[in-house]
A and B are shown apart, each in its own frame.
Chain A
Amino acid sequence: MEPKRVIVTYCDENGNWPSVEKDLVSRLPLRNLVWKPSNNRAKRNISVLDVEFRRFSAESSKNLPPVTLLQNPYLNLYFVNCEDNEVYKTTVRQQIREWIQLMTSKKNQEWLIVHISSQENARATKVAQVRMADTEMSEMELWADFTEKMKEGIMTSFDQNVLTFEEDIRRLDSQRQMPGWNYCTFFILKEGLTNAYEMMNLHEDALRQYDELEASFFQILRDNALTWYGKFGGMQEGDDDANLLDLNRKPYRDLIIQNTISVFDFRTYLFGRQCNLLFRLRRPIEICHRSLIFIPSFAKTVREHVSNLTENFMESWIYTACMSIVNECDETVPLSGDDPHMMIVLDGAKAELLQLARQQLDKLGIQHGRLPKELPFTMSLGYDNDTNLGMSEVEKKPMSKDLLEAVSSDEAFDTSVSARAIRGFDGSGRHRSSLLLHGDVAALQYYRKKFVEAARILESITWRYGQNHWTVLENELVMKHAKCLKELGDTVKYTEACLTLLRNMDDLKDEDKLYYSTELFSTATSKELKQEIHHEFAPMFTVKVVSMVDILQDDDGSYVDIMIENKLPQDIEFNKLSVRMVSGEIDELWFNLRHGVIKPGKNTYRVTCETSASGTYVLEKVHLKIGKLVFLYDFLQENRKRIFRVDSHPKALKATISPPQEMELGQTSTFIVHVSSGRNQVSEASLSLLPASEGISLVPTSTLAYSKEASDAATGEISFESYEAISLPSFGPNETLAITVPYETFINSQEHLIKLAVHYLTPNSKRHTFTLTTGIETVLPLQVSHSIIWRDDCLNIKLDMACTSYVPIRVLNVELRHPARINDFKQAPFAGEMMQIKLILSLHTTVYVMASVVLYEYHFERPLAEATDEAANIVPVLAYTNVEVEKALTSLLEADLVKAQLEQHNAFLTSHLKSHLLKGVDYMVYGMSDELELPPLDVASCETLLVYHDPKVREILIGILKEIFLMNKTIEYDRIMALSSSNQPLQISFPIPLPTSQMLTTVEIIVDSPNELTVGTPATFQLLVKNSAYWSPSEDKEQVYDLYYDILVDYENWLLCGHKKRLFSTKPGVTTTHAVSLVPLKTGPLHVPKISIVSATSGVYNQTAYVNEAEQVLIKPRTTTSTFVIDQQRGVQFADR
């Protein structure tokens, strides 16, 4: 419908129109009109108003009734151009008068005389003057007066019109209750007002009129006063797929005037008009919102009459209505959008309409067999999906063309509507609604067997439901997804989908549960699955460890019982069930069970571990392997860690690492690996060693020495390539292999860790492993250093020993090994006595004790013949023990454990004995008194120690310990030694290179009169230098050597008179005497000055033995006093009193 325009007529009897038309039209449309309603309502601004000029004619100026579509002009213009008064008086005035008379007779029409002249004249009211060809004034000003008057006229006329309409409407409205009142008349009248508003571009007001009309329509509907509607309508062709906004489709207005309009047409018309106005107002959002209310609510009305209508009328109508509105919105609203917020809202509203349209498609699709009658398509049917929908209906009339097309072929039944709706929802941020539509599209693709597409869409959306625990919805989609994947043969994803479904099995039907679990496991075990799939145990299974770890009696290794609860409704065969326990960062144990069946409900399995490794292990995880499917459970995620004590059978194969019995300092360090077979016949075994801490490495070598401790003691060498796999010789039961392994350390640390593993085959050809991570102490508890003291005819060696650990060390023996070439050596006369003590009590912390370390001296007598043998070494050997108490208690404990048949705990208790249970032992007292007092047993710490053991075993063990501690409150030294007899003392040996010197001089200083030394009085000293014949570098006794002595005088105490340094010659065996005077400067005992003798001959080195070393002489005070000032530079000044 063309928008109506305000009509202005002109009467032009002088032929002025053509001359002004151009100028006039160019002034249009009129701008900035102001309507001040006379009924005191707020004034309104009309920014633009278009005006249509019509030539005045008598017919057209007839007063028309308001109901017609034809309009009355608002303003009548009379153009006059009369310069001549005569002419005016004779003809023109008459004409004007007649015209005015005609105008005034009309209702609600204004008139205006336009005088076109070239000069200014006096004005009269209702005369506008347009002066042509006036150069003085601008065009604008020329016309301003006229346009103002024209606006005024139009507005006055409009106002009057509105008033008239309103009055009429009020009158008619008040008669509503009267019989014979017709809504149509009311409607037409009201619409007249609306048209008036619309004409003036007052769309808001117009819309309000329609809204009022709609309201009154519903009012009347409620009052059941709509009897005048004869029929519902919608029977005409094209009713079902008409553009809702196309108001020209039917002569609605005429129908209304004729009072023959149907409800359907009426509602359509009313809504269409509203929408038209809203479009003019540029409010697409409101249109969408209104249609979202109108379409479903009117659809309800339609449904009441659906039996009279063509097939699928309703669906068709809703679809077309929605689509036409959305299309219209898309066309009208520029895509660039003004306001992003508005676009979001609009997108949302459009999407909702599209969704509504889509639902109609679904309905049609189901009816026509294009879609299956199942979710999610049936969703569109809503709740009242009566079963009588279907193909059995009589073909009434074909429905709309494109819909018919849509349902008639699969290809045309397109998802473009959905796609548009999804875009809309996405644009408006309504991602959930968009998900729903995605699901629908996927379902459609699935139904059309486009599985790839469907799977792709489903994969992207299912998790979003699952994420928020909308499991029912997730399941629905995943089931579809699973079907797609099955069709596609994507086994990996299919398995995952099954897993997802089973994860949500609480919301699955029983038959589905069974179906999918069967599917899952058959897929998992089939060969098609190429890839391992991991999944949590929960919620299909729960797993619990129900026992403590215990040792296997008949085989090496241990076992644990675990319980698996199967919540799936079927038996499941598994390939492997493994439990992993870890200790620290490096040790792990795998408990395995191969092949089994998990029945629904609770099942208990015993899993065994072929690795024997004792230690405290944390339960880490469980693997359940079914085909390619692996179920995992991580115990560490539980709040409480499960910790188990794992022991190995006392008769199982065992390996230990210990320091060698004999250590030789300066050589490559070694440790010894003892592998004892226990009860096993070891036919094949390999050892692997791995440094487990930084700073230690095993010395690469190609062979290792080993010895067999058994009935047939044997030694040999093992060749190997790497420490990872050292194949061991076979050995029988109760045999022990001792393998010496060299290592080196490069970071100083008390202890280095070595990981050790023995893989071995037992006669029943079971493969077993023994693993152990143990520390080797690389620092000795004993520190030894030596120094050499030269004597005229022998050497003294001084050994300083210090204990570096807190536990004292008992030194059992010290002996000296020496090259056979040294003919004779003798120990100091007191050495034997020192040996008797046999115990060094030395604590690292007590510096004083360390300083007073006992020293051993050995005297050598060396024949001259051996003088040139410089490679000779003296090797002192120390035998010591520091673990005798521990060993003694261990053997006591072991005996008791064997009695109680709990030998497997021996290793554990022993290892903790020292650190925890023997903490309170005072070894110093023991060392002094040779009697060990055991402190009372700390039961609490025992319990913490044994906290991971089986409670029953724990009680017994504590009992045993208690008894031992009670029975052995004091232990004698002899008993300890007897108990620890198996404990071989450790030996340390280290080489001391035998020193040789070319020359030795003995220096002696003799005071002439030692009793008469007084301070300040010079005293004569004799310096005796004897050249030792024994150490002479050459055989020649007559060889003369040049030497010089140097007296290192302490100038605070002494003044030297004579030669400080002096060169002299000597021969072997000859003593030379030098006299020096020394002046003592202080009273009291003073050290005699040091003297060094240095060889003056190059190539000859001299050692000095100073007889008077550290000797003191007593200096007496003088009887008379004297003061003297000592100045190093100027000598000494005496000042006798």
Chain B
Amino acid sequence: MNATHSSSSSGGGSGTGSGLAGNTPTCYFVMIGTKDNPIYEAEFVSVSTARSSSAGTAVSEAKREEFRHLNQFIAHSALDMIEDIQWGTNQMYLKSIDKFNERFISAYLTAGNIKMLLLHDAKSEDAIRNFFNDCYELYIKTLLNPFYDPNSIISSAGFDSKVRLSAKRYL
């Protein structure tokens, strides 16, 4: 159901999860590099919603494609909000910074100006904070890899599966 699918696609998008099931919105997670470029993105079905909608009809390919666009558009315009907020706090976790219809956008801004955005339904702040912290740690580990150029797309399958694991645990 919630397949930890690792995508090897290069180019703009990486790691769009294939684990979309049911017509419930999924969580959308994207990491954005210092040049406003997405370096990692993933979609997860949160455990609770996945369970409740396990019998739900599969979303059509077109819908998914559309969701992907929608998610990216939302994430992209949410960067504005981060810029508004980032100087007003000394926290990395910026909490919920924006809303789109009834969905929330939570953000996490690392010291290295890497932005992490999560598009989600109302969830406890702590869970999201934990998830972000996990992702940050994973990112730092990736950064330590001498073969990884900062700001390039993270295509590591290991990173992807770990992020998904963390998503499963917290979201």
Interface residues in chain A, defined as those with a beta carbon under 8 Å from any beta carbon in chain B = 292, 296, 300, 345, 348, 359, 375-376, 378-379, 382-384, 425, 428-433, 435-436, 465, 468-474, 476, 504-507, 509, 539
Contact = CB atoms under 8 A, between A and B. Distances in A.
B35 interface: yes
B138 interface: no
28 contacts: A300-B102, A345-B84, A348-B80, A376-B69, A382-B101, A383-B25, A383-B70, A383-B101, A384-B23, A428-B84, A429-B80, A430-B83, A432-B79, A433-B80, A435-B76, A435-B77, A436-B73, A468-B37, A469-B153, A471-B12, A472-B13, A472-B69, A473-B72, A473-B73, A473-B76, A476-B69, A506-B13, A507-B9
Contact of B12 (A345, A425, A430, A504): A504
Given A348-B84, A379-B70, A473-B76, A507 B25 contact: no
A345 B101 CA distance: 21
Nearest to B9: A506
B99 A382 contact: no
A345 B80 CA distance: 12
B100 interface: yes
A691 to B, nearest CB: 49
Contacts of A505: 11
A296 B100 CA distance: 9
Contacts of B84: 345, 348, 428, 430
B68 interface: yes
B99 A471 contact: no
Contacts of A539: 11
A468 B35 contact: yes
Contact of B102 (A382, A431, A465): A382
A506 B155 CA distance: 14
Interface string B61-78: 000011111101100110
Interface residues of B, number: 33
Nearest to B41: A472
A471 B13 contact: yes
A507 B73 contact: no
Of B35, B65, B80, B100, chain A has the most CB atoms within 10 Å of the CB of: B80
Given A472-B12, A473-B69, A507-B12, A465 B99 contact: no
B169 interface: no
Nearest to A473: B72
Given A376-B69, A429-B80, A473-B69, 7 more contacts: A429-B83, A430-B81, A433-B77, A469-B37, A470-B12, A506-B13, A539-B11
Contacts of A436: 73, 76-77
A468 B80 contact: no
B69 A375 contact: yes
Given A472-B69, A504-B12, A506-B9, A432 B101 contact: no
A296 B99 contact: yes
Contact of A506 (B12, B25, B70, B72): B12
B35 A383 contact: no
B162 interface: no
Contacts of A359: 101
Nearest to A386: B23
A474 B73 CA distance: 10
Interface string B4-26: 00000111110000000001110
Contacts, number: 94
B149 interface: no
A472 B79 contact: no
B103 interface: yes
A812 B70 CA distance: 91
A512 to B, nearest CB: 11
A384 B101 CA distance: 10
B99 A469 contact: no
A470 B69 contact: no
A390 B11 CA distance: 37
A382 to B, nearest CB: 4
A510 to B, nearest CB: 12
Nearest to A348: B84
Contacts of A378: 66, 70
Nearest to B99: A296
B76 A465 contact: yes
Interface in B18-69: 23-25, 35-38, 65-69
A468 B36 contact: yes
A590 B66 CA distance: 48
Nearest to A505: B11
Contacts of B79: 432
A431 B77 CA distance: 8
Nearest to B16: A472
A375 B38 contact: no
Nearest to A466: B12
Nearest to B59: A383
B83 A470 contact: no
Given A296-B102, A382-B101, A431 B13 contact: no
A378 B102 CA distance: 15
A471 B13 CA distance: 7
Question: What 8 pairs between A and B have smallest CB-CB spacing?
Answer: A471-B12, A506-B11, A430-B80, A382-B101, A469-B37, A383-B25, A468-B36, A433-B77
Contacts of B35: 468
Contacts of A345: 84
Task: Name the residue in B25, B67, B70, B101 with the highest tally of chain A Cβ atoms < 10 Å from its Cβ.
Answer: B101
B12 A469 contact: yes
Given A296-B99, A348-B84, A470-B38, A432 B11 contact: no
A474 to B, nearest CB: 8
A1005 to B, nearest CB: 94
A359 B102 CA distance: 13
Nearest to A471: B12
Contacts of A470: 12, 37-38, 72, 76
A345 B88 CA distance: 13
Nearest to B153: A469
A812 to B, nearest CB: 68
B67 to A, nearest CB: 7
B15 to A, nearest CB: 13
A428 B83 CA distance: 11
A432 B77 contact: yes
B22 to A, nearest CB: 11
Interface string B151-165: 001000000000000
Contacts of A509: 65
Nearest to A374: B66
A375 B66 contact: yes
A472 B68 contact: yes
B71 to A, nearest CB: 9
A502 to B, nearest CB: 11
A427 to B, nearest CB: 12
B10 A469 contact: no
Nearest to A539: B11
A300 B83 CA distance: 28
A211 to B, nearest CB: 20
A431 B80 contact: yes
Nearest to A506: B11
Contacts of A430: 77, 80-81, 83-84
Contacts of A376: 69, 73
A237 to B, nearest CB: 28
Give the residue among A296, A470, A506, A509 with the most B Cβ atoms within 10 A.
A470
Contacts of A429: 80, 83
B67 A383 contact: yes
A506 B153 CA distance: 14
A435 B80 CA distance: 11
A435 B103 CA distance: 21
B98 to A, nearest CB: 9
B150 to A, nearest CB: 14
A916 B144 CA distance: 49
Contacts of A468: 35-38
A348 B25 CA distance: 27
- Which has the most chain A C-beta neighbours within 10 Å: B9, B66, B84, B103? B66
Nearest to A436: B77
A515 B72 CA distance: 24
A148 B36 CA distance: 63
